Structure 1
Amino acid sequence: MKETYLAINDTSNGLLSNDTAKETPTTRGTSKLLAEGELATARETVSAIIDELDAKLHDLNKTIHSHPETAYQEVFAHQTLTDFLGSQGFTVTPHTYGLDTSFEAEIGSGGRLIIYCAEYDALPNIGHACGHNLIATASVAAFIGAAKAALKLGIAGRIRILGTPAEEGGGGKAKLIDAGAFKDEIAAAIMAHPVPSHSYQDGYTGLAGFKLIASHKLRVEFRGKSAHAGSEPWNGVNALDAAVAAYNGVSMLRQQIHPDERVHGVIEHGGTVPNVITDYTRMNWNVRSPTVQRADALLVRVKDCFEAAAKATGCTLNYIHSPTYADLRANKTLCQTYVEEMAQVGEKVKVMEYKPATASTDMGNVSYTVPSFHGGFAIPAPEDVTGHHPRFAEAAGTDAAHEAAIKCAKGMAMLGLRVLMDPEIASNARRDFEQFD
């Protein structure tokens, strides 16, 4: 992979070029423990960089929010984000790893490598109801804050931002893993997700140790035989009956699954007109369980429902599998470091939630590949609203939500810098990853 670097040598704002940063005698990365003064300087620098860009970041956020695009169709967001990073002096590689709407930018050479993951896809019909506009904004701000601070302060290491399309069901990060986007020795992959503020109690405004469950994603096709529904229905094989039988079978199965498991699906194609026997139907299903192993076992039971429906109706059955989402593993060292940094910007963040939420993300796959951080930050939302709701899409476009994303960005920027600056944090994060229980 070709390395790209930020080429800045502007003495008016104190930034150093990448080469200068490598040669300066103040280069960090070898000290065992960091003096509090060094951390304070880094925090002040990151905060100043992000604050100076806040108005432009706000425009970026609103622009993406107002142009929602679904999985692998994020053409506008891809262009908007790459243009923004280019305007800040970064060399950006578009269309990376064989995905048209992925991108990458990087500064530094040698030392440890950290990656900020940016999501920016939306949900069909209800827009940014998972707040990926905020994820993109926070990750871009964190990357710029960490990168420019590293150059200014002479902090050794590499800092990368990776555009990760199609989190909403498309498995973008799983495909990026397969394509080699995470093949390097990576000290930490970092991102955070907005969550409605009423999800947190006791004064908490965020969660570091976000845990989510595994999810199999698949489409199911039933094929039958068309016939006139009025004059000769006996000559048809009804694929709609197969889909309905499959749905009802799964509905009965739900009574016998564990409370922390989920199976849910929709009929995407159910036929055309009522006076023709339907010869083709397609369903879209998620099969979720706390671990991939349990999800595998549940998937076998769910497929029994599909196969029974096909046999009962005489239809043929075909599966179209999407990438499986692994359960999201929380790294204790990265979580604790993030909590410390969020306290510095006045936010009370919970270190760990031991009971996983019954949702899924392809960042789970990353957490099985490299040491990873996937936090949650609170945004104001109505009491009866959570993610994947039209009113959460509205909440994700508010000024208050942007303010929360910017605070999160400062915490993530410092989390990344501390992984680069402090070998003990990097070592402990690697240990937590390798010895995860």
Structure 2
Amino acid sequence: MTVVKHLEKVPAHRDAEAEQQLKAAIDARRTELWAINQQIHSNPELGYEEYKAHDAICSLLESLGFTVARNAYGLETAFCAEYGVGGRVVAYNAEYDALPGIGHACGHNLIATMSIAAFLGVAATMKARGLKEGRVRLIGTPAEEGGGGKLKIIDAGGFADVDASLMVHPGPLSYDEGWDGDAYSPTLANHKLRVRYEGVAAHAAVAPWEGTNALDAAVLAYTGIGVLRQQMHPSSRVHCVIVEGGTRPNIIPSSTTLDCYIRSPTLKAANDLLSKVENCFAGAAQQAGCKVDFDLINTYADVRPNGPISQLYADAMNAMGSRTRCDPSSPGAPASTDQGNVTYECPGFHGGIGIEAPPGCGNHTPGFTASAGEEGAHELSLIAAKGLAITGWQILTDDAVAAAIRADFEADKKRRQNPGVERLVVHRSGYC
């Protein structure tokens, strides 16, 4: 196994008794956790339509004695539950939206399970040990798959008082050189752009000269972006689809629409690439004689993994025998998530855990959908949940740990000012 560069050791005091209590509290809820996992997996719902998942999770928490804010943050399928008073806040994010046509091909049923389990474990241990100060929070975050649910929760102040935001994402068990998971995994920033061209309809055989072909503009733009790729940094990505291209071959298309994702390792780099891509769209409009309209749907920032949080989670996982990498030079994954925006608001991380999946069945494939519903994947997710719980407990109870996390977050703010292209992203399994 290759030796990786490790982060500076976090000055954490390990409480073996508390860790056993955290693990036991999660194990005590195995029946409920498996049931909620299967309920979500068996009833896939798209972003902002996760009514069954929302109600099932809220009902479970309420049955266990928690007060739950349903339809939280102005979103019908968001929720918030909290235990404790005052002090620091550790938040676990539960995702539960699915993908169109292929269900939980990104394993959000497992993400929800891990975050629910970690929340229950920490809350039970806080109660058992009489922790007088500190809060653990479970936030139900809808519509990660493009809808930007966490962006709306940020705007509603949902992360304003959070000291650490934690979540783990599943992928196929194919981490490099025998690793079972990853604690330090940056992602790409992602601008989601919708572009509409307006031309003039005409009969394509009788009088094509009377028309202005909006499909020509779409094709020219698509081709121009293809040429632009020669000048793009290898870590950046641009992908487009023509979602509306016309109705009949004998009608000059009067309108066309493209959806485009623009990704780079940092938000600043993504902004620079966005301006170049917009030039391709504008130039195509001029060539075809069409009008063009841009609509920036939303922007996912790059995940900025907090070093101390990542190291704490890796230490907890490795101590349980789950070989978890924590390499600050890691290129991360060439994918995007709205958890990136959260890491700009407060210290956070977005770890990864591998589950068994057949070859070629990575995230966003029907094969991964099936794997995410297996009991073996659930068992691996409970290990990650215990790692999340141990990490959250240390943040709540250890002042030195909390100070190190805050210091790393403030230092990263300065690094964001002029980041450039900080890392070359290579292909691994993606998320969104």
- With structure 1 as the length reference, what TM-score do the two structures score? 0.89
What amino acid is aligned across from residue 189 of structure 2 in structure 1? Answer: A
Name structure 2 gaps, 5 residues minimum.
1-10, 416-432
1:31-430 residue pairs with structure 2 within 5 A?
A: 36=14, 39-155=15-131, 156-184=133-161, 186-201=162-177, 203-352=178-327, 354=329, 355-430=331-406
**Residue type matched to 1:364 in 2?**
G
Deviation at 1:383, TM superposition (A): 2.8
Deviation of 1:422 (Å): 0.6
The CA deviation at 1:267 is 1.4
Cα distance in 2 for partners of 1:62, 1:373 equals: 26
Deviation at 1:343, TM superposition (A): 2.6
Q: In structure 2, what is the Cα distance between the partners aligned to 1:418 and 1:196?
A: 29
Aligned-partner SS, 1:359: coil
- Once the two structures are TM-superposed, the CA of residue 92 in structure 1 deviates from its matched residue by 0.7
The answer to whether the 8 A contact 1:310-1:316 is kept is: yes
Gaps of 5+ in 1: 1-32
1:290–1:356 CA contact under 8 A, matched in 2? no
Quote the Cα distance in structure 2 between the aligned partners of 1:34 and 1:337: 8
What is the identity, as a one-letter code, of the residue corresponding to 1:90? Answer: F
Deviation for aligned residue 1:364: 0.8
Task: Compare 263-272 and 406-415 and name the one that shifted more.
Answer: 263-272
TM-score (norm 2): 0.90
- CA deviations 1:74-131 (Å, max 9, x no partner) are 2222112212212221111111111111110111111111111111111222221111
Secondary structure of the structure 1 residue equivalent to 2:85: coil
Deviations 1:303-352 (A, max 9, x none): 11111111111211111112211111111111111112113322121112
Query: Any idea what SS the aligned residue of 2:183 has?
Result: strand
Q: What secondary structure sits across from 1:432 in the alignment?
A: helix
Instruction: Classify the secondary structure of the residue corresponding to 1:321.
Output: strand
How many angstroms apart in 1 are the aligned matches of 2:12 and 2:97?
Answer: 38
Moved over 6 A (4+): none
Which amino acid in structure 2 is aligned with residue 367 of structure 1?
T
Q: How many residues align?
A: 401
SS of the residue aligned with 2:46? coil
Secondary structure of 2:382's match?
Answer: helix
Structure 1 residue 382: Cα displacement? 2.1
* Cα 1:278/1:416, change in 2 over 3 Å: same
1:35 is displaced (CA, Å) by 6.3
- The Cα shift of 1:353 comes to 5.1
Contact 2:150 2:342 in 1 (8 A): yes
Per the TM alignment, residue 274 of structure 1 is displaced from its structure 2 partner at its CA by 2.0
RMSD: 1.5
Give the letter for the 1:378 counterpart. Answer: G
SS of residue in 2 equivalent to 1:165: coil
Instruction: State the alpha-carbon separation in 1 of the partners of residues 213 and 257 from structure 2.
Output: 13
Deviations 1:135-175 (A, max 9, x none): 01100111111111111111231111111111111111122
- The one-letter amino acid paired with 2:348 is S
